[in-house]
Chains A and B, each alone.
Chain A
Amino acid sequence: EAGVTQSPTHLIKTRGQQATLRCSPISGHTSVYWYQQALGLGLQFLLWYDEGEERNRGNFPPRFSGRQFPNYSSELNVNALELEDSALYLCASSLQQGNIQYFGAGTRLSVL
């Protein structure tokens, strides 16, 4: 069974640009979560999608947005990139009725 896959692995952008990160959940999982992990820091909750709807968002500005597609894959968009957006962005998925989260390997975003 394939795990959670994220793409790209690395992404380099310049300040002011937009970044799009993608996540494919484990087959059968309908919930997708996005987290930001700055270097050496913990997991900061960004967004939670379930059944195509945004269920909750963390304390991040509106330039962080995303969506979930009918096949439950998800996209995270970050507009007007700032230097402090440089971090590892982790996606996790879970079953609709369960909450054990399975993480992907992450996308490392570098903003220059």
Chain B
Amino acid sequence: GQQVMQIPQYQHVQEGEDFTTYCNSSTTLSNIQWYKQRPGGHPVFLIQLVKSGEVKKQKRLTFQFGEAKKNSSLHITATQTTDVGTYFCAGNSGAGSYQLTFGKGTKLSVIP
């Protein structure tokens, strides 16, 4: 079955440093989504990428979808304490299936 690997599992950064998490799928994806879960909270949808090579930005967050549609990345510039949480990628293989396969997430800690 489809597998989605995400690295690193944990990342500790000083406030103001950049952060990147990477996501790799064992199969070609129809689209990929990113979610953020704050400590004690539930996952919240951030963005969806559909096109090969697509790049989307949300303020300090930059999301990329690989040319082969098998990998993706989330980059945060100049982290802030409000960025703390676990970031999950989730892939959809398409073919009429709307089920997402989630990566195990990257837990980001920001040291003030």
Query: Is the CB–CB distance between A42 and B88 below 8 Å?
Result: yes
Query: Is the CB–CB distance between A45 and B99 below 8 Å?
Result: yes
Give the segment of B12-20, B38-46, B56-64, B73-81 that binds chain A: B38-46
Given contacts A42-B104, A99-B92, A100-B33, A33 and B42 within 8 Å (CB-CB):
no
Inside 8 A of A92's CB, which chain B residues have their CB?
A: 43
Interface size on A, residues (CB 8 A): 25
Query: Is the CB–CB distance between A56 and B99 below 8 Å?
Result: yes
Inside 8 A of B41's CB, which chain A residues have their CB?
A: 105
Query: Is the CB–CB distance between A43 and B98 below 8 Å?
Result: no
Query: Is the CB–CB distance between B42 and A103 below 8 Å?
Result: yes
Q: Any chain A CB within 8 A of the CB of B27?
A: no
Given contacts A42-B88, A42-B104, A42-B105, A103 and B43 within 8 Å (CB-CB):
yes
> Interface digits, B75-112 against A, CB 8 Å rule (1 contact, 0 not)?
00000000000001010100001111111110000000
Contact of A31 among B42, B98, B102, B105 (CB under 8 A): B98
> Interface digits, A92-112 against B, CB 8 Å rule (1 contact, 0 not)?
101011111111111000000
Contact of B45 among A48, A50, A100 (CB under 8 A): A100
Given contacts A90-B43, A100-B48, A106-B42, A42 and B99 within 8 Å (CB-CB):
no
Contact of A94 among B35, B98, B105 (CB under 8 A): B98
5 A-B pairs closest in CB distance: A42-B104, A99-B98, A103-B42, A43-B102, A103-B43
Query: 8 pairs across A/B with beta carbons < 8 Å?
Result: A43-B43, A45-B99, A97-B98, A100-B33, A101-B45, A103-B35, A103-B42, A105-B42
Chain B residues proximal to chain A, CB less than 8 Å: 31, 33, 35, 41-45, 48, 88, 90, 92, 97-105
